[in-house]
Copies of this chain bind each other. A is one copy, B any other.
Amino acid sequence: MINKIVRSIAEALEGVRDGSVVLIGGFGSVGQPDALIEGLIEQGAKDLVCVLNNAGVGRVGVAKLMELGRVRKIVCSFPRSSDPVVFETLYREGKIELELVPQGTLAERIRAAGAGIPAFFTATAVGTPLAQGKEAREFNGRQYVMETALRGDVALIEGWEADRWGNLTYRGSGANFNPVMATAADLVVAQVQHIRELGELHPHMIGTPGVYVDRVVQVDRGAPWV
């Protein structure tokens, strides 16, 4: 019997190694796998590369992971927030690397990694500092830059419901980076708010087929929690 449901956050994060590239889902607080991020803080892996849209708020979650000196590099589109103090301080002091990627290019680079595409061309960032050093090429009279696949060793994501096959549904705007990140890492770990029996999730409501998911952990409180 396939059963991807594990009983604890610690079990869900077993084997995450130092130096891992960690994809972290969510946009704002919605769909952000808070319990798994807290678990990663506990777990102890360091020298991490974190790939996510923002660079942490206040001194919790990813910001705390950074403050503890466990993050070598952030790959993100928007390292600002209502309270980006930890990242800004580390960045100013040269203690953290930043790879700034346009949000759509970030999503597409991750999709490419999940879809077996090593590189693709996009018009985004052409003529801007973010295209510097990248291969440029013209197609049908328009300029494009080449972007490469961005893959993780680990993906930490949040879903709304899961079954034992690892099938996931999403709620509201909670999909965001989660389904694409689920396709692009060697170890995909999902926190969800509800576990359902196999067959209870409508085939057309499943946003991430279990094929992509390695471990599922149910948490009593996600953020936001309903």
State the interface size on chain A (CB cutoff 8 A).
22
From B108, B140, B148, B207, give the contact of A118 (CB < 8 A): B140
Q: Cβ of A78 < 8 Å from any Cβ of B?
A: no
A window 201-216: CB within 8 A of B: 204-205, 207
Complex: how many Å from CA A122 to CA B112? 10
Q: Cβ of A139 < 8 Å from any Cβ of B?
A: yes
Q: Cβ of A117 < 8 Å from any Cβ of B?
A: yes
Contact string, A102-119, partner B, CB cutoff 8 A, digits 1/0? 000000100010011111
Q: Which residue of B lies closest to A111 (CB)?
A: B115
Complex: how many Å from CA A142 to CA B123? 26
**Interface hub of A112, A118, A148, A207 (most chain B Cβ within 10 A):** A118
Q: What are 26 of the A-B contact pairs (CB < 8 Å)? A: A108-B115, A108-B117, A112-B120, A116-B122, A116-B123, A117-B120, A117-B121, A117-B122, A118-B121, A118-B139, A118-B140, A118-B142, A118-B144, A119-B120, A119-B121, A119-B137, A119-B139, A119-B144, A120-B120, A120-B121, A139-B148, A169-B204, A170-B204, A204-B205, A204-B207, A205-B205
Complex: how many Å from CA A140 to CA B151? 13
Copies of this chain held together in the complex? 2
Complex: how many Å from CA A123 to CA B115? 11
Q: Which residue of B lies closest to A139 (CB)?
A: B118
Contact string, A141-183, partner B, CB cutoff 8 A, digits 1/0? 0101000100000000000000000000110000000000000
Q: Which residue of B lies closest to A142 (CB)?
A: B118
Complex: how many Å from CA A118 to CA B139? 7
CB distance from A174 to the nearest CB of B (A): 10
> A122 to chain B: which residues have CB within 8 Å?
116-117
Q: Which residue of B lies closest to A149 (CB)?
A: B139
Complex: how many Å from CA A122 to CA B116? 7
> A119 to chain B: which residues have CB within 8 Å?
120-121, 137, 139, 144
